[in-house]
A and B are shown apart, each in its own frame.
Chain A
């Protein structure tokens, strides 16, 4: 009897699994007939989670691109970035694109090697880490594959890639610090919440603030901690400062998620924040919900980090295909900062990601 009940339970669990998988497979239009087991095992074997967007084999006139990106779920920025790439590099625009996602450098390198074997025409790369790419990019060059970096730069010889389309993280930091300076506070006591240490975004955004603090006596860092882009960790860091009773009046969080975590800790302790309040809140990346917070005057400043690189990449590829050359290897995108006192509802719609 017990066994029968168990068998029933298991069977229903399996059926549930099948239906759940069925709907998700339909959503993402991949893996036509996969049972849950097969799907999960596949992912376990290939952690880089490769996914071929265009199932039919490449016909002669399509440009074959292999796109290596970070996990789209990493942040709203990455989700918008991935969506933008998928929209541009589709069959209608003359591309046959394959995507590989990973937050780990070694898995990305493995994916790159696979794309080289597959014989793609272009390799588009947003590297998880700045180092370790020399040999694989050399392989690509030997195979006649042209490499375009987007979003993140790497420590490799510029001859190994055609172009690098980046956000100027240092500019983002400087622009934000300049805005903060324009607020004319008597004293700046700053909680500085950093991203994953060593990432280009963290270096650029921290660099400007660190320089300013070193120069001026009335700019102080209350605490400087990495929350690794994680809202929850940011909340604990700010909570710790509040518990200690150290006064502060600025929160400089290197992305919106962490700013949100910090604000949650402030709300709990009844510390007012936003325009004309006790604590200035600064975020980065311009998520739509974050810009909405600016519009509601709960936050003070948000610096854009432009995720829409695909049109720039498309231009580069079209130039190269028509036999042209790229004048400037490093292409910096336009980015702006938003002040809560001047932001409009249109800005939220237009620039929010």
Chain B
């Protein structure tokens, strides 16, 4: 009796351990426990008012939710691109600069310091989505039709993107003074939870519905696992790959909207700098194979919030901000080592041995 119970517990643990989402959840728990021990005030959330007199919740956890939102949105698109093409898009940061510039160009017109908005925010946003879809399609074409390595194909936009962003606004740095525009990256009056979190939640809901009611997820995985066999089964791998880049383009436009709104301004050369690395790291942290194939969207999104949690924790402990990439590098090394075939085989051997010993006892 007790034996079967023990078995079932170890089974549950085994199942949990094998489940992909285990990796980001474990990483998050480790970080949270570390914070709990080091300084429990990390978990304090207070209700205050911002300078416009609107209620806002503040605290480290809210900061994580707030600042991690863009990354979570980007992780959605990056997961699809990774799964379908077996490579990563490294032009995401430059893409945000372009989409954000297009957004501000429509909002501001020719005047860089407009008193009123030139166009409704939704129109500007749709234009920037269109622009982002275009360069997503451009990247997708290179990868899907011309079979260029994704990292090499997106390198083009990675180097040229910020210059293109500068052209869009004639090298000016526009500033929007309209208050409603700042709600998107801040707070909607009366709602104390940061708006970016709602936007991220909406994006997740949409992608969840898409994955549930369409074959996008299945097709993407099929193409990523074996392109030629998926073609033999009547799929169009070229289109699926191309589509994944277009979807990433939409995610980039949404992230750009939030980023630009946070400061009501844009600085092409530094906005969303190196965010592509964080997005790729989020996918890797989610336990997804960077060589494509099967993916777990929720694990990637969890991964994105883990990265922001790590960043916020490091800021809290006053770690020099230029040293942050080094800490992220440590995480990457650990992940890569633990997911390498050598280590996995060893782990499997050990667990087998333990099991057989248990049975012998």
Contacts and interface: CB of A to CB of B under 8 A. Distances in A.
B239 interface: yes
B268 interface: yes
B159 A270 contact: no
B320 A225 contact: yes
Interface in A242-263: 242-245, 257, 260-261
Question: Chain B's interface: helix, strand, loop or mixed, by majority?
Answer: helix
Contacts of A117: none
A325 interface: no
B51 interface: yes
B263 A235 contact: yes
Most buried by A among B50, B166, B321: B321
B267 A226 contact: no
B315 A6 contact: no
Contact of A10 (B41, B137, B273): B137
Contacts of B320: 225-226
B204 to A, nearest CB: 23
Question: Chain A's interface: helix, strand, loop or mixed, by majority?
Answer: helix
Given A28-B167, A74-B269, A244 B263 contact: no
A268 B175 CA distance: 18
Most buried by B among A232, A233, A243, A266: A243
A226 B138 contact: no
A24 B41 contact: no
A243 B316 contact: yes
A43 B156 CA distance: 8
Contacts of A41: 156
Size class of B's contact patch? 35 or more
B262 to A, nearest CB: 7
A129 interface: no
Most buried by B among A13, A24, A228: A13
Interface string A214-246: 000000000101111111110111011011110
Given A229-B270, A268-B186, A240 B263 contact: no
Interface in A1-35: 2, 6, 9-10, 13, 16-17, 24, 27-28
A270 B51 contact: yes
Contacts of B138: 13, 17, 36
B318 interface: yes
Contact of B141 (A10, A79, A229, A233): A10
B157 A40 contact: yes
Contact of B160 (A40, A229, A267): A40
B267 A243 contact: no
20 contacts: A10-B137, A39-B160, A44-B160, A73-B166, A74-B270, A82-B171, A225-B315, A225-B321, A228-B321, A228-B322, A230-B273, A235-B263, A237-B321, A240-B60, A240-B315, A243-B58, A243-B59, A243-B60, A257-B267, A289-B113
